[in-house]
Structure 1
């Protein structure tokens, strides 16, 4: 027998058998007196040798164990050295081949190293000790921080590529790329998120990355796809790419730019042999709302129960309750003492939205009731002789802190002092929010002989609270359907989310909404099935499923997604599926500060928690803007970045200033807004003619009038073309539609309280179909205002109406970002109403002489006690 470092060889007069020590082909069997050795070679030969003494067998086993340990150690040394060589090769790849070291490559090697280490742990068992110092030759290299070394190699590559590819970076767009743009182009990690400030050239970066990938041989033109959110954006990407390739002398290069919709149809069509039908009403937002309105009307006609529940929600549960124990979040008005109140459907003014909810439920069900003051109760039901006390409590069971000391103790006093000899019903906040209180009221009233009579068409008093409109509820349902389908939530999953709500949430409202939504979603799906079609969210999810299951494949090595801050969960899932195969690259570009399409299914967490969706992701930033001057950048950034849930960035501008970058002008009446816009345009023309303003890029000064709503286009003078057309290029757009566009001057004519910001931006019911959202107050409306501010290359002018200043405008004034003036430039000097915080105190005349009161009367009836007319400036008299 011969034993070396790798093999055990046995030679007999008739046979020869050699077996690797690392294999399982050597076995010693111990008998009572003798041992036998069995060999099984890799080529199938077998040899059995009997007659070994126990002592010889023991000695042979020791020799075998030691030889095996040495062989494994040699094998490990070889594996370690091979691994180190491969790790070094990645660094060489970056330097010599000018290739980025991707996370995928790094992870594969790190997993190999982990496997080698795991094998070594087994070798270090007491039965097979390693020779001392066996790892000394490569231990230092083995223990090195290779991810840091690879990162250094990547950064070296980036620096070298800035030089090597300078000609491409200078020629690919109409102006040379900035260094941060070029570095984003060079970075070819598998998952890259680019957080791009407004006006920072994200489209230029995407186009340049496509050109760089082709020029460096990373991807062929047919292996690149650029995804946009609408046809206009996709067409712009396609045209920009072709112009860029022509500048580089490569007009034959062709990459694909498509909407998510078109790409999903393409994937499904290729996998199944035909493209699915997507009805127009399932794609277009307005058409979808109109179709849903038809379906809801049909449901009402078919089912009296559905109609009753639908109108019950609109009239009674349309307005969400504030957090337990908090003050009125949206007061309907203020009394003359400045105390806020909520108005019921019947017109009563109550201090609590919980009391208002109870009153509206009673009204809808046809119950005769009286509010407050009756024997210390909150409600009295005269037909039943029943008194009702509702205890508004916070989450700890205490009266709210904003209640006065008398109010905090009143309920407890009247329960003890007034209930004797009377029929009493008691409810509290938790019972109201859970829905138990409504069952208690129904049972108590029916026991007293009062039958509930829910009536959807009961006439509403003119001075009562305006209920949630059909249009608003239908729009909310359409948004809910989009989110539920985007997140692939069926009815069971939605019900599970309802059950998981915190105990202090308004669960009864959510339950009633989900009850309606189930019927509406079913009707929506049936309408799709009737046309043999699917909707946008179904299509995205089906395309992703086909890719994930291997039933479909795509040729795209480089997937680029534009406006990624507006991606829904379904879009993010499709992007993940497109880039899931080895050696694929996802390049997602967006700005969470401009995420303004939640109503269309956008989920900002896709941007702010990028790594949660895509695993490891490299985050880069484009912080240099080529649009807004620095002063305007600073104002807009300070405003929007007060929301801590958003990504942090510092925006730097390369645009010079042309006079004041932000102005705020107040007019006396809303009817004067159009005239104010006309005067502002006249002023701009005069500045152009006098040389104070230079013409814009097209020889004229470009002006954008941006509205929160479409109807604000009426603020543009009808004869503007004749008056200003020779000097100005004027456009109107809603702020939502203006994203991606820019102008020299931006005018926002509708910065009014109750209009902008919209108070109905985020309904709590959407939480049932979405992950934990952005809870910062008016978060999406703030981002919308940021979009408006950052469309301007020179100046933004904000217009408001006296007594109706938007809280956003008030915030800018309070922060010192702008001074509120009249059209003639005089500073507005007014006393803000301390009650409602929106109106101003103005001088009025009455039967008993002059007095001051809030300009928002009758919504706010506040009058300062013993106020003298001289206390407040008379300039406020202009407000009607």
Structure 2
């Protein structure tokens, strides 16, 4: 390079600003009139602080050799653009010399041509950036591939797509990973590669963001156990933002989980008891009861009660209680909650105390009694035993929850201006109750748990006697179930709906005033607003305004508030260097909301040459109720500002419009993972067909393993009644589990919902072996099973659940892209959820639906990948569709006789189906009554079979039904 530079400089041994000639001056022709031409000496060599083109050429050639000769790194868009712009500027400066050779000396023209050729080669190198990067990827595969493959064992190797995702090293990298394609594996391999390849990068330079705390544990284990890597900051985005917020505002109090719900409950209670809102509350509660409150339905009441007892691991008041290997504190909270509910004492759980502070921040008491008929406010705190505390990182401060510390909160203190005379604290000492160190007890033994719960209740009962609170007569049996149901449906569910309302407004970044405006516009434009919704909106907006005043993001906040605060602090450049990272990894990126995306973008703006590696799958984005925005992952580059380089031209115009050589330009490295290692091709092909009906999605073409049997789609007889008429669905699941080629522990039953269908859920829990994994499709994300059963893929009570939440809908407006594309936000979310459910299947997949009320998703499954099992043959279906009825013999047993005109038949192998008896004779009705009582088998010869419209006027399906009339012969 130096030699070339000297050569060019040697071309200018005399003045280069005018042409030279051997002719005597008197014989030279008259020059052309002066033109605005450059001083070639300045252009080539530079001067007065202006770098000459020769120096620029040398720097560009050195820059190029670092890539082309040494494979220094992946050629990023930003680096390529910068070099491209410098080359373009240099070529522009040379253009007047090359275009007007007669106006300059031959040496100047020759130098300009030489420089132009050299710089043009650099320009062409940038234009062939994709080719270089392909060579870089091949070089990295040769260098690191064998080592990375060795971590698999069993002769397995990474796919080319996985290697591309691991090695691509642009400033912004998106890995669009379909279900079962090993994205978590790729995520960890990428971390290992960065630390192996780049000597100037250490583990402390890496921030890895996962969506859940479980994801944090999995990633830390993967890095430590597979690669022996420690020191990488692995965190949820909430935890990262919490750390930033607390570093900037040391006195800020973070109120989350049950404590936050309790704050909202207190706000709601104050609003609903105020005279200002009494009319609105009465109107709302009346409509709420009409829509959701049915205390006379025994099955529903018991289902809710069962849901809130030990079966589900939460307290009878519906408060989430965490458990671990030493569940002392969780069991104590269960025992306290049960005692309070059984004695008809209302309470708040996890109460943040504004008037008391611990060494670890704002104090949170376990329970506070509400409306106890006394001016005395009673708080209850269970202080875990020393053995439990010793190895529990959740106890941040060793003194914060010791009995003596809590007791001091309720003692007069001359140094504090807090009056505690009307406050009483009941402190339950774990060491005193247990007697034996908690880590020496067998907590898996049910008797140990029961003895401990009993001891807690006894100690609590004795302590309450010393207060002015009088417990009610102990409730048992149905009275207790009714009490729990009332609390759950009439208060707890309402508070959770208010919390959802507030959350939906906040994730859209609507302050209370904007939310009120949006709600008014929605209510004005909606064609049909349900009763009670305007009243609820008025109450919920009032609650949001009070919430916003309390959670001010400076003195008190929650996780969402800390995310907003962190984004704003990053944008303002006010975040300490310890929270900034040159390498940012984001897992499950499709589940981020717009504020969380803002944090990632703001992080990327903090450090020059940052690398952002985002892994996700918009096809599996199923947390819209939490504000997840798959459309932001789809628009990854624009959202994160890939290509927004300060001082550089718009990369799209440079790389596409003005230069067809770079027509494949993208503002970021985009990789697809499409080899599904989990599912057979039957499942992958079918799920692809379903998800491609979504308008808002990325393009992928996943492929599965060549093995695989057809998907079994079971069209059952009736089962179109919510809660009660699910017997055939349950029985079919029982038979599928018992006949499965896989043991119960390898079978997964994936429900659309649990809370909304408790009777069905608990009927399955009671009927199926304990080892069967029964969970919702939301909870199944990231899991897999050899045999997956997806029930209720029908228009009633299953997939899709398209019925809007009337109370939250006014603030749950979809992103603009859905309106622009005329796409259904709700239906596309439901389709993604169904996609997640079916792609859990490793071997066998059974889909259960109802004939006549099949879900649109069943219709979207490709016939060539499915085997349909229907009560009626194709010929009979054709006959019904043309004549509205067919006749044939039907065998089974009368399951139930509800009234003179309606019964159900257990149709052999087809499930329960309606028996319509409106046209039956008196003798036929009498005979069916006898069969219903005896349970005897029956054949209905020449039975009519029809599709009938259901009684629900809003239903858009028809129910398959058996018709008994005088032409039917009953044989038994």
Counterpart check, 1:199 vs 2:247: no
CA distance, structure 1, for counterparts of residue 220 and residue 569 of structure 2: 26
1:166 aligned residue (145, 166, 190): 145
1:541 and 2:583 are equivalent in the alignment: no
2-side partners of 1:123 and 1:863: how far apart?
Answer: 79
CA pair 588-821 structure 1, distance change in 2 beyond 3 A: same
Contact map agreement 2:523 2:810 (CA 8 A) in 1: no
What residue number does 1:713 align with?
A: 761
Separation in 1 of the partners of 2:283 and 2:90?
67
Residue number in structure 1 paired with 2:273: 301
Structure 2 match to 1:215: 196
The change in CA–CA distance for 1:749 and 1:142 in structure 2 (over 3 A counts) is same
In structure 1, distance between residues paired with 2:251 and 2:181: 40
Q: What residue number does 1:703 align with?
A: 747
Using the TM superposition, give the Cα deviation of residue 522 of structure 1 relative to its aligned residue in structure 2, in angstroms.
1.1
Residues 130, 558 of structure 1: alpha-carbon distance in 2 compared, 3 angstrom cutoff: farther
Mapped contact 1:665–1:797 kept (Cα < 8 A): no
Residue of structure 2 equivalent to 1:278: 255
In the TM superposition, residue 549 of structure 1 has moved relative to its aligned partner by 1.7
2:710 is aligned with 1:739: no
Q: Is structure 2 residue 230 aligned with structure 1 residue 259?
A: no
| Residue among 505, 512, 525 paired with 1:484 | 505
Q: 1:732 to 1:511 in 2, by over 3 A?
A: closer
Distance 1:311 1:240, change over 3 A: farther
- Asked whether the equivalents of residues 300 and 306 of structure 1 are also in contact (C-alpha less than 8 Å), the reply is yes
Deviations 1:255-284 (A, max 9, x none): 2221111111122233444664233247xx
Structure-2 separation of matches of 1:303 and 1:828: 66
**Alpha carbons of 1:767 and 1:841: their partners in 2 closer, same or farther (altered >3 Å)?**
same
Residues 1:635 and 2:607 aligned together: no
Does 2:67 align with 1:93? yes
Task: Judge conservation of contact 1:666–1:820 (CA < 8 Å) in 2.
Answer: no
Sort the Cα spacing of 1:130 and 1:241 in 2 relative to 1 into closer, same or farther, 3 A: farther
> For residue 241 of structure 1, what is the aligned residue in structure 2?
223
Distance 1:140 1:522 in 2: 67
Give the TM-score normalised by the residue count of structure 1: 0.63
Which residues in structure 2 correspond to 1:824-839 (within 5 Å)?
none
Seen in structure 2, the aligned counterparts of structure 1 residues 243 and 650 have a Cα distance that, compared at 3 Å, is same
Question: Contact conserved, 2:687 with 2:839, CA < 8 A, in 1?
Answer: yes
Instruction: Give the corresponding residue for 2:620.
Output: 594
Structure 1 pair 140/96, CA: closer, same or farther in 2 (3 Å)?
same
Deviation per CA, 1:723-770, whole angstroms, max 9, x where unpaired?
xx7xxx521221101101101011122323232211235876346585
Question: Do the aligned partners of 1:843 and 1:853 also contact (CA within 8 Å) in 2?
Answer: no
Q: Which residues in structure 2 correspond to 1:279-678 (within 5 Å)?
A: 279-281=256-258, 288=261, 292=264, 295-305=267-277, 307-308=279-280, 311=283, 478-491=499-512, 493-494=514-515, 518-528=541-551, 532-552=555-575, 553=577, 554-580=579-605, 581-616=607-642, 617-654=668-705, 656-657=707-708, 659-666=709-716, 668-669=718-719, 670-678=726-734
1:91–1:809 CA distance, 2 compared to 1 (3 A) = farther
Per the alignment, do residues 64 and 612 of structure 1 end up closer, same or farther by CA in structure 2, a change over 3 Å counting? closer
Deviation of the 1:797 alpha carbon? 1.0
3-state DSSP of counterpart to 1:240: helix
> Could you say what the CA RMSD is over the residues aligned between the two structures, in angstroms?
4.9
- Deviation at 1:816? 5.5
Q: Go from structure 1 to structure 2 and tell me whether the alpha carbon gap of 1:513 and 1:843 turns closer, same or farther (over 3 Å shift).
A: closer
SS at match of 1:586: strand
**Kept in 2: contact 1:547–1:578 (CA 8 A):** yes
Asked whether the equivalents of residues 21 and 71 of structure 1 are also in contact (C-alpha less than 8 Å), the reply is no
Change (3 A) 1:497 1:717: closer
Distance (Å, rounded) in 1 between the aligned partners of 2:684 and 2:197: 36
Change (3 A) 1:507 1:868: closer
Partner of 1:51: none
CA contact (8 A) 1:674 1:714 kept: no
**Could you tell me how far apart the structure 2 residues matched to 1:638 and 1:578 are?**
37
Report the equivalent of 2:917.
Answer: 845
**Residue-by-residue CA offset, 1:195-225 (whole Å, 9 max, x unaligned):** 1000000000010000001111262111112
User: 2:299 maps to which residue?
Assistant: none
What displacement does 1:820 show?
Answer: 3.5
- TM-fit CA distance, 1:189: 0.6
User: Residue 823 of structure 2 corresponds to which residue in structure 1?
Assistant: 776
Q: 1:829 to 1:744 in 2, by over 3 A?
A: farther
Q: Contact 2:853 / 2:957 at 8 angstroms: preserved in 1?
A: no
Tell me the secondary structure at the aligned position of residue 786 of structure 1.
Answer: helix
- Is the 2:711–2:866 Cα contact (8 Å) retained in structure 1? no
Q: Which moved more, 1:79-88 or 1:546-555?
A: 79-88
> What is the rounded CA distance, in whole Å, between the counterparts of 2:286 and 2:77 in structure 1?
52
Equivalent in the alignment of 1:398: none
Residue 112 of structure 1 is matched in structure 2 by 86
Distance 1:514 1:586, change over 3 A: farther
More deviation in 294-303 or 513-522?
Answer: 513-522
Distance change in 2, residues 1:497/1:122 (3 Å)? farther
CA distance in 1, matches of 2:671, 2:608: 22
Normalised TM-score (structure 2): 0.57
What's the counterpart of residue 208 of structure 2? 226
Distance in structure 1 (CA, Å) of the matches to 2:716 and 2:219: 40
Give the Cα–Cα distance (whole angstroms) in 1 for the partners of residues 150 and 529 of structure 2: 61
TM-superposition CA deviations, 1:92-138 (whole Å, max 9, x none): 32651442112232233234345556767999999x97779463223
Deviation at 1:167, TM superposition (A): 2.3
What is the correspondence of 1:114-129 to structure 2 with a 5 Å cutoff?
115-116=89-90
Q: How far does the alpha carbon of each residue in 1:632-665 deviate from its partner, in whole angstroms, 9 at most, with x for none?
A: 10100100111122111101123632x3344335
2:858 is the counterpart of 1:809: yes
> Residue 570 of structure 1: CA displacement?
1.3
3-state SS of the aligned residue for 1:138? helix
1:759 aligns to 2:802 (yes or no):
yes
Is the partner of 1:620 in helix, strand or coil? Answer: strand
Secondary structure in structure 2 of the residue aligned to 1:257: strand
Do the aligned residues in 2 keep the contact of 1:705 with 1:733 (CA within 8 Å)? yes
- Answering whether residue 836 of structure 2 is matched by residue 787 of structure 1, we say yes
For 1:242 and 1:862, how far apart are their aligned partners in 2? 54
Partner of 2:566, secondary structure, is helix
Q: How many aligned residue pairs are there?
A: 639
**Pair 95,181 (structure 1): closer, same or farther in 2 beyond 3 Å:** farther
Query: Quick check: 557-566 or 95-104, which moved more?
Result: 95-104
User: 1:71 maps to what in 2?
Assistant: 42
SS of the counterpart of 1:626? strand
Q: Deviations over 1:359-389 (max 9, x none)?
A: xxxxxxxxxxxxxxxxxxxxxxxxxxxxxxx
Q: Secondary structure at the match of 1:643?
A: coil
**C-alpha distance in structure 1 between counterparts of 2:616 and 2:558, whole Å:** 25
Q: Distance in 1 between matches of 2:859 and 2:704?
A: 26
After superposition, the Cα gap between the structure-2 partners of 1:111 and 1:540, relative to the gap in structure 1 and judged at 3 Å, is farther
Unaligned runs of 5+ in 2: 1-7, 10-14, 18-29, 292-488, 643-667, 720-725, 885-910, 922-942
* Distance in 2 (alpha carbons) for counterparts of 1:120 and 1:603: 49
Confirm or deny: 8 A CA contact 1:314 1:469 kept in the other structure.
Answer: no
1:197 & 1:863 partners in 2: Cα distance? 33
**796-805 vs 552-561, greater mean Cα deviation:** 796-805
